[in-house]
Structure 1
């Protein structure tokens, strides 16, 4: 029984570390994409062709007020929100699977698997 519990706990640890790593990487990439788009908009504003020839057509740039920055920050999706949403999604999927399973068939499959393992171990 120690082998089985060790195997499954190692599997659970490995999959959870991989899941968290992938989720954090995805959130980082989304944040980088947002920052790059913001920088491209700033560069386009600086290099606007209409403003280069005639300053009357130069696009107006108003510095953002503190309230606008706060409202924009509230609208942005953070890593915490992404992780929370994914976690809730996984818990919901797990609950649906648990509710929809026939536990008799799970028990029978586990018994068959245990019998196969014991036969394999005794064979050696």
Structure 2
């Protein structure tokens, strides 16, 4: 394996591992945030002074139909796998659009000019 192919392979592998690690960490933080918000809401409801002395001010329970709708929404939330797949597809779509819209002759000319500049700088030293 040549230097450049090894370097690019290592770079691709390292960046993929970092990307997946960051996305897993992000999804974990999101699930923890949701759990903490639910716990805080429960503690606030238990701690609320409304209804402590007069039961007429006690917060009402959620109606059955609304509770079923909320449960369906929770089931409809995307999993971590779906979120990662969606982000990956978005990035691939963006990169493919860039590759399709790029004028490769300009890229070739820019690379050739850069290589000439590097060669001239090396020859001067």
CA RMSD in angstroms comes to 3.1
**C-alpha offsets along residues 28-83 of structure 1, whole Å, 9 cap, x if unaligned?**
11111111111111111111101212122211235868844541223424312321
Give 1:92's aligned residue.
93
The Cα shift of 1:85 comes to 2.1
Distance 1:64 1:76 in 2: 20
- 1:14 and 2:14 aligned: yes
Unaligned runs of 5+ in 1: 120-124
Q: TM-score, normalised by structure 2?
A: 0.76
Q: 1:118 to 1:14 in 2, by over 3 A?
A: farther
- In the alignment, structure 2 segments of 5+ residues that lack a partner are 121-125
Q: Secondary structure at the match of 2:59?
A: coil
Secondary structure at 2:50 match in 1: helix
Go from structure 1 to structure 2 and tell me whether the alpha carbon gap of 1:74 and 1:38 turns closer, same or farther (over 3 Å shift).
same
Question: 1:108 deviation in Å?
Answer: 3.9
1:89 Cα deviation (Å)? 1.2
Residue 118 of structure 1: CA displacement?
8.8
- In structure 2, the residue corresponding to 1:41 is in which secondary structure? helix
Higher relative contact order (CA 8 A, sep 6+): 1
TM-score (normalizing by structure 1): 0.76
